A = this chain, B = another copy of it.
């Protein structure tokens, strides 16, 4: 039996092209907002999720930079990475610091500063999340990989461009109510379908953007959280899995076994099924990803993700809202920060503080954060208390 761990504070920066702020400044801003939210000024340990601060900023060793500039000298700190799932792993690692008995109050920070390099360099850095020897070196990039998945899904299940586009419409609708979002505006189905083609069938508005930003959560044992007389949520399940690094090694381009395994493990640990979950934040790096993830989670049967999206199942007022925050599409995708920001949104909803985008009676949340073309995935189950 593992120790119960609570999220006692959340914070994030405005996401976007933050040219006037450095990598460390962005990380520290989110961390300070989180500590302010919790009313805590000293932590026992820090975890930092960042995918590629080496390639983006020539700065490894964020495990020293973040505590140093946060005024938390001598604390144990660790940077974790699993491509775009780095943020989710920062939260898992913070959980392990506490559940293992090594630390009590642990801060998890996710950060990425992606606009300090030009577009080609950013594409190169992001491609290092794929198989360098068998994919990236030969020229394929992530829009191309996900386009192959989209084409396969359309071929196998009849998923349509309109259905893919509705994912973006829904997420931009939600994100238009999120003050932290990079692109807080609505888009129409026609705008998405007619946007510039990136990799057939995907248009620009099916793709998440390049973003600077950070997010942070503060964790503590539940017995500590109780004494603080503030709202908190509890992490009741964590599931984590990996798959082949190269997309071509999978049995099917239409399935995400790591997402399925991770989510089943998380639900099992929480003693729940997907039917017990009220809403989810998932990894919509491309519109097809949200459709494939909802199928892998068991929200709908394989092939039904597109029709269900058109029918409003995953809308804010639907039976299973997905990405109330606006998702990666509208909120932005500073890769190492995304997984932490999913937890920030989940806790915000569970605390009933999500403002215009508040989901009614939100008691149980699922977050799903993914690396590469589904080569790693981590799911957290969070519950209101």
Contact = CB atoms under 8 A, between A and B. Distances in A.
A371 B245 contact: no
Copies of this chain, count: 2
A101 interface: yes
Contact of A51 (B2, B60, B136, B258): B60
A328 interface: no
Contact of A240 (B76, B80, B99, B375): B76
Interface in A53-81: 54-55, 57-61, 63-65, 67-68, 73-81
Interface residues of A, number: 71
Given A74-B258, A79-B82, A372 B240 contact: no
A52 interface: yes
Given A73-B242, A80-B78, A244-B68, A61 B124 contact: no
A273 interface: no
A82 B96 contact: no
A139 to B, nearest CB: 13
Given A81-B81, A93-B96, A128 B58 contact: yes
Interface in A122-180: 124-125, 127-133, 136-137
A241 interface: yes
- Give 7 closest A-B pairs by Cβ, nearest first: A99-B100, A76-B240, A64-B375, A2-B101, A96-B96, A59-B132, A61-B83
7 contacts: A52-B60, A58-B124, A63-B376, A76-B262, A78-B82, A93-B96, A99-B100
